Structure 1
Amino acid sequence: MAWIVLVASGVLEAVWATALGKSDGFSRLVPSIVFLIAVVLSMVGLAFAMRTLPTGTSYAVWVGIGAALTVGYGMVTGEEPASLVRILLICAIVACVVGLELSH
């Protein structure tokens, strides 16, 4: 259960990071509200997962999922440059996250 919550929290990290970027310094209402809701839910989920999973592993997985999804979203929408090297590096982050999950 902790792993499922941790992965969901990582997804929410990508949501809040993207919403933060789109909030234009909290001057746009909808992205600002999405940011606030997603950041609270993401932190609550991370805290829940850390009750049973090691802190370092939890944090690394949470950040890895959030970072990979945030950059991936940026590439898909054209907001970030996409290149073979960047895609391979994101795949490496995902592989490391999976490795941490499998090694626990």
Structure 2
Amino acid sequence: MFSLRLFLSIAAALAALPGCRPDDSSSAPWRIVDSQIQKQYPDVPLISTDALAAQLAGPPETHPVLLDARAPEEYAVSHLAGAVRVDTTSLEQALMDVDRERPFVVYCSVGVR
């Protein structure tokens, strides 16, 4: 069974909201955040926004399950198409409902939840 720590590690490692991370020199602070996340959670794989976009451009049956770890209010304002909001206070239950045959991506707004 997935633990809260594993989920939070994955959520922290995946800052995968398209459009939130510029590709110019102003992205230097994001590189620092990414570096800190990778040091703290070296076993959690990262996915770039470009790689995620490529996966989502493929056939629907190959799409990863998208789990939004943000607050309900944030999810209500905007979320990735097809994403399911997960309550970080009851992660074990939420993860039991995830299709284990498909990869999943957990995201939040910055990558620290």
Query: Is TM (by shorter chain) over 0.5?
Result: no
Q: Which has the higher strand share?
A: 2
Q: So what's the TM-score if we normalise by structure 1?
A: 0.38
